[in-house]
């Protein structure tokens, strides 16, 4: 029997190493480019939220009247209030929440209908102003909230 030695051909170790290093560099470059965009986008969003939180400190409003399923508020500050959260409370526990997505311009008064809160079932109502950061993102200004007695 005669044996014929077959020559196996493949990628040399040097070329394999160069290919692995090139692939690794490409993957790292993609991650760095994606990460840079992600971090700058995240920083921009956090900056807008922080700016809105700072504006919260300038809010000043009061409740003028609450009757007949309508609440009248007066904005005494220089910052427009974009929305309100009305939280009815039965004692220490929260009962119902209603969000009023109507703005109240600075130094003006406005009346807002209350449709979801049953004013007969709650003792107090907390009114929390909100500032709009983007299309559907609002920052609640809980430190400037006002609580009134309903019953």
Q: Is residue 30 part of a domain?
A: no
- If one counts every other C-beta atom within 10 angstroms of the C-beta of residue 86, the result is 19
Q: What is the pLDDT of residue 80?
A: 94
Q: Is residue 67 part of a domain?
A: yes
Q: Is residue 19 assigned to a domain?
A: no
Residue 41 is predicted with a pLDDT of 83
Q: Supply the pLDDT for residue 85.
A: 93
In this structure, what are the phi and psi dihedrals at residue 85, rounded to the nearest 5 degrees? -110, 125
Relative to beta strand 109-113, strand 93-100 is: unpaired
Q: Does residue 116 lie in a domain region? A: yes
Residue 49 lies in a domain: no
Confirm whether 13 is domain-assigned: no
Structural domain includes residue 42: no
Maximum Cα interatomic distance, the chain, rounded to a whole number of Å? 110
Per-residue pLDDT tens digits of the chain, which is 151 residues long: 555 666 667 778 888 899 999 999 999 999 999 888 888 888 888 888 888 888 898 899 999 998 878 999 999 999 999 999 999 888 777 678 888 999 999 999 999 998 888 777 888 899 999 999 888 889 999 999 999 988 6
pLDDT of residue 45: 81
This prediction has a pTM of: 0.70
CATH number of the domain at 142, please: 2.60.40.10
Domain presence at residue 137: yes
Contact 74, 64 (CB under 8 A): yes
Tell me what pLDDT residue 5 has: 62
Overall domain count for the chain? 1
pLDDT of residue 10: 72
Question: For 92, phi and psi rounded to 5 degrees?
Answer: -85, -20
Task: Print the domain residue range for 119.
Answer: 57-149
């Amino acid at each position: 029997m005669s044996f014929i030695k077959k020559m196996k051909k493949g990628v040399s170790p040097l070329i394999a190493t160069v290919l692995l290093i090139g692939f690794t560099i490409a993957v790292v470059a993609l991650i760095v480019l994606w990460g840079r965009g992600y971090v700058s986008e995240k920083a921009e969003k956090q900056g807008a939220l922080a700016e809105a939180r700072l504006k919260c400190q300038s809010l000043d409003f009061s409740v003028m009247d609450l009757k007949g399923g309508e609440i009248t508020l007066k904005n005494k500050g220089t910052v427009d209030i974009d929305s309100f959260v009305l939280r009815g409370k039965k004692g220490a526990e929260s009962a119902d929440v209603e969000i009023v997505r109507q703005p109240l311009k600075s130094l003006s008064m406005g009346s807002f209908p209350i449709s979801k809160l049953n004013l007969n079932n709650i003792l107090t109502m907390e009114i929390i102003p909100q500032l709009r950061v983007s299309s559907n993102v609002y920052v609640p200004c809980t430190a400037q909230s006002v609580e009134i007695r309903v019953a």
